Structure 1
Amino acid sequence: MTAPINILVVDDIPQNLIALEALLARPGLNLLKASSGAEALEMLLVHEVALALVDVQMPDMDGFELAELMRGSERTRAIPLIFLTAASRETNYRFRGYEAGAVDFMFKPIDAQALVSKVNVFVELYLQRKQLSHQLDELKRALHMNEMFMAVLGHDLRTPLSVVMNGAMLLPMMTDHPKVAVTAQRIGGSARRMAQMVDQLLDLARIRSGDMQLKKAHRDVAELCRAIADEFQAADKPSRVVVEAHGDAAAPVDPGIFAQVISNLVGNALQHGESGHAVLVNVDGSAPEHLRITIGNRGVIPAARLAGIFEPYQRLDAARKSGQGLGLGLYTASTFVHAHGGEIDIASDAALGTTVVTVTLPRVGAGAPTAQALA
């Protein structure tokens, strides 16, 4: 059974309260009658109210004062308020009422039909707000369940993936047939891409659930970048990642999470940049108040794609066709950088044929490790 909708009526004259109750009475509506501002405030502490009809001229606390107190409380400030008054129709008088928070003025003797119509409108708006609030709660629950599903799925996929990757490594050892080696290489490459997708899904689930914590420490960011560059080094091939650093390269970062930032950005630059050119990582520690890291590669991103480049599930056409990644790398990198209090930007110069991602990290608080929630 649906709970009745409360309408608060405030008037110091009992006959007016009785008349309004008779006028507005209908199934589904409950009139809360108060004979003073103080009594009205007590009722507002207990009941949820869709609309308040308030007489202006009352002893001790007039309608304007009651309205100001209602607007000063988080619980009651959104309640629509209609003033009922037999006083002057002067503009200054109305202005004071609207300034106090009124949505309308009605002058006595009250037009019964107009009052009923206005009450019906605000009741309908109240019902719509309740319905939207309920839908929002349902949507939040659905999103939470979706994030939990992604986290569980990502976690459970790791075990079979590790078996596939280990099998791909063992296959060439079992035979010297050239087709087996090629097939094993393809299986291993596909499994590694799938592992990257799983990692991105887990990162996304942690970001949106707010479960990830930053544990900052004073670290050499240039060393982190070099370690990531080594991970992308292919055997018997020259490195495509060049790391340069100058100045003080230390900043307060969570080493594990910030390493993911660099890994995502470097991996993205390698994937989408021209294969014959190196990816340049530059760590600029010359400024005392911040550290700046740039990751540059040959290749141009269309201007139309730059505006939403850090939104989730944004992939270039080539990556979409090849099935490489989920388009979450730049999104997670951006989120992690902002969680560190930093900024991230991307610029693509068609004339030079280059794309550069710039990460700026503040050095404030570098002296002490901190734990910070990632929302």
Structure 2
Amino acid sequence: MSLQEPSKLLIVDDLPDNLRALDALIRDEQRLVFHAHSGDEALALLLEHEFALAILDVQMPGMDGFELAELMRGTERTRNIPIVFVSAAGRELNYAFKGYETGAVDFLYKPLDPDAVRGKVNVFVALDQQRRETRRQMDALEKSRREQEVLLQELNATQAELQRSLRMRDDFMSLVAHELRTPLNTLFLETQMRTLHLKRGNLQAFSGEQMGAMIKRDERQIKAMIRLIDDMLDVTRMRNGTLSVRPAQVELMGMLERVVSDLSLQAAASGCAISLAPHPPVTGCWDEFRIEQVVVNLLTNALRYGGGCNVEVRVEVEGKCARIDVIDKGKGISPEDVERIFQPFERGARNGEPKGLGLGLYISRQLATAHGGELGVTSTPGQGSTFSLALPCDVLVPCAAVSA
């Protein structure tokens, strides 16, 4: 049996000499003996401590031993404490019968037999030690059970996360293969056509005008593959904490004018136009390349999901914060998808019609956070969406690594 705290014993008698004599009989290193000179003192101790045994004198002024026993049996906390009565009265008064009626486990007459007292106390102390050891073991088992439940929940969560990661990996590899196959197939077909022309000696197919068109087609396919690879590398760097942000003074309106101009042909191919609302120059300390990357992502998505409607770019300065709004008039985003689209490998349309790995918004939000800013969206289904990039104008963000 493991080491335990000493068992507590209560002796109640109105005579100090009787208390000292009984204490001397039952005390040892594994027991704490408490004295009470009256029923009231005994009740106070009973409410404060958990006793292995209570030895009560029957004849006390005020509250006698029988009355104290009845109160103990009527209280939940003290109901199960074993009671031994002690009396100097003669056996003819039949106190023992009344004592057993009040719930006593034994009745002793004075003068006490020391060996009998020690033997009875030893029994109840041993029972108390066993009871507490059993309770300790039960508490330990319950604690172990709770810990095992928590561990099982953690294992289940880990297993579910692992399965999710494996599914995401498989979906991602399938998606990457699909997205890379399109430009690669186009390049392969172009190569086969040129090879066929060369074999047939059809050099007219390589005139200056036609060669220029071929090169532009090749450039588009190569840029598409580079963009996919760059996105995958950015996500890997973010998760490894190695994607750096290098702030410098940037004039925002000039950068936006250049981006809108660069995307004008792509917008025209989608049957719409991109407009930039005029605004005075806005200067801040940002990584121009990364902010441009975010804006390009937002505009590309607006063209992709905008349903052929015009896209508007606005800049607002509120206090010490600059906000870029990219507004489209497309089909909008449902409330349950607003946060989903910012997760990696999630795309705006569930039916898979728009192309892409679903990394643009995830990367963009991480870059916004790295600048001390925010990227969010407000949208009404059927009425379009507004993506807002908020950037602090007066905070010099040190060169830092971005971690997902």
| TM-score interval, smaller chain | 0.5 to 0.7
Q: Work out whether residues 300 and 348 of structure 1, in 8 Å CA contact, stay in contact via their aligned partners in 2.
A: no
Q: Work out whether residues 280 and 296 of structure 1, in 8 Å CA contact, stay in contact via their aligned partners in 2.
A: yes
| Corresponding residue for residue 290 of structure 2 | 257
Q: Does 1:371 align with 2:402?
A: no
Change (3 A) 1:317 1:341: same
Measured in 1, the distance between the counterparts of 2:212 and 2:284 equals 44
Change (3 A) 1:306 1:237: closer
Q: Work out whether residues 196 and 325 of structure 1, in 8 Å CA contact, stay in contact via their aligned partners in 2.
A: no
Change (3 A) 1:116 1:228: same
| Corresponding residue for residue 241 of structure 2 | 210
Query: Deviation per CA, 1:275-303, whole angstroms, max 9, x where unpaired?
Result: 2x332111223x33110110112212242
**How much has 1:122 moved relative to structure 2?**
2.8
Determine which of 307, 315, 320 is the counterpart of 1:274. Answer: 307
**How much has 1:269 moved relative to structure 2?**
0.6
Determine which of 379, 384, 392 is the counterpart of 1:348. Answer: 379
Measured in 2, the distance between the counterparts of 1:248 and 1:181 equals 38
* SS at 2:356 equivalent: coil
For residues 285-300 of structure 1, the aligned pairs below 5 Å read 285=317, 287-300=318-331
Q: Does 1:113 align with 2:134?
A: yes
Matching residue's letter, 1:206: R
Measured in 1, the distance between the counterparts of 2:381 and 2:154 equals 47
Q: Does 1:283 align with 2:315?
A: yes
Q: Work out whether residues 187 and 221 of structure 2, in 8 Å CA contact, stay in contact via their aligned partners in 1.
A: no
Q: Work out whether residues 168 and 188 of structure 1, in 8 Å CA contact, stay in contact via their aligned partners in 2.
A: no
| Corresponding residue for residue 36 of structure 1 | none
Q: Does 1:315 align with 2:347?
A: yes
Change (3 A) 1:325 1:288: same
Change (3 A) 1:179 1:321: farther
Q: Does 1:244 align with 2:265?
A: no
Q: Work out whether residues 301 and 348 of structure 1, in 8 Å CA contact, stay in contact via their aligned partners in 2.
A: yes
**How much has 1:327 moved relative to structure 2?**
1.4
**How much has 1:222 moved relative to structure 2?**
1.8
Determine which of 354, 362, 365 is the counterpart of 1:331. Answer: 362
Matching residue's letter, 1:175: A
| Corresponding residue for residue 232 of structure 2 | 201
Matching residue's letter, 1:117: M
Measured in 2, the distance between the counterparts of 1:135 and 1:182 equals 56
**How much has 1:257 moved relative to structure 2?**
1.4
Measured in 2, the distance between the counterparts of 1:137 and 1:302 equals 31
Measured in 1, the distance between the counterparts of 2:136 and 2:332 equals 60
**How much has 1:264 moved relative to structure 2?**
0.5
Q: Work out whether residues 253 and 281 of structure 2, in 8 Å CA contact, stay in contact via their aligned partners in 1.
A: no
**How much has 1:127 moved relative to structure 2?**
6.0
Matching residue's letter, 2:295: I
Structure 2: runs of 5 or more not aligned: 8-31, 33-47, 52-127, 198-202
Measured in 1, the distance between the counterparts of 2:135 and 2:358 equals 56
Query: Given the two structures, how large is their TM-score scaled by the length of structure 2?
Result: 0.51
Measured in 2, the distance between the counterparts of 1:131 and 1:236 equals 53
Q: Work out whether residues 348 and 354 of structure 1, in 8 Å CA contact, stay in contact via their aligned partners in 2.
A: yes
Measured in 1, the distance between the counterparts of 2:255 and 2:3 equals 67
Matching residue's letter, 2:364: A
Instruction: Tell me how many residue pairs correspond in the alignment.
Output: 267
Query: Deviation per CA, 1:88-135, whole angstroms, max 9, x where unpaired?
Result: 59xxxxxxxxxxxxxxxxxx6453322222223334555676788899
* SS at 1:218 equivalent: strand
Q: Work out whether residues 267 and 274 of structure 2, in 8 Å CA contact, stay in contact via their aligned partners in 1.
A: no
Q: Work out whether residues 313 and 328 of structure 1, in 8 Å CA contact, stay in contact via their aligned partners in 2.
A: yes
Identity of aligned residues (%): 17
Q: Work out whether residues 221 and 250 of structure 1, in 8 Å CA contact, stay in contact via their aligned partners in 2.
A: yes
Change (3 A) 1:196 1:235: closer
**How much has 1:314 moved relative to structure 2?**
2.3
Q: Work out whether residues 348 and 356 of structure 1, in 8 Å CA contact, stay in contact via their aligned partners in 2.
A: yes
**How much has 1:236 moved relative to structure 2?**
12
Coordinate RMSD, CA, aligned = 5.0
Matching residue's letter, 1:266: L
**More displaced stretch, 340-349 vs 161-170:** 161-170
* SS at 1:234 equivalent: helix
Determine which of 354, 357, 364 is the counterpart of 2:387. Answer: 357
**How much has 1:224 moved relative to structure 2?**
2.0
Query: Deviation per CA, 1:234-279, whole angstroms, max 9, x where unpaired?
Result: 299698222234244112211121111111001111111132x332
Q: Work out whether residues 337 and 359 of structure 1, in 8 Å CA contact, stay in contact via their aligned partners in 2.
A: yes
Query: Deviation per CA, 1:166-187, whole angstroms, max 9, x where unpaired?
Result: 9969959972699999998877
**How much has 1:345 moved relative to structure 2?**
2.0
Query: Given the two structures, how large is their TM-score scaled by the length of structure 1?
Result: 0.55
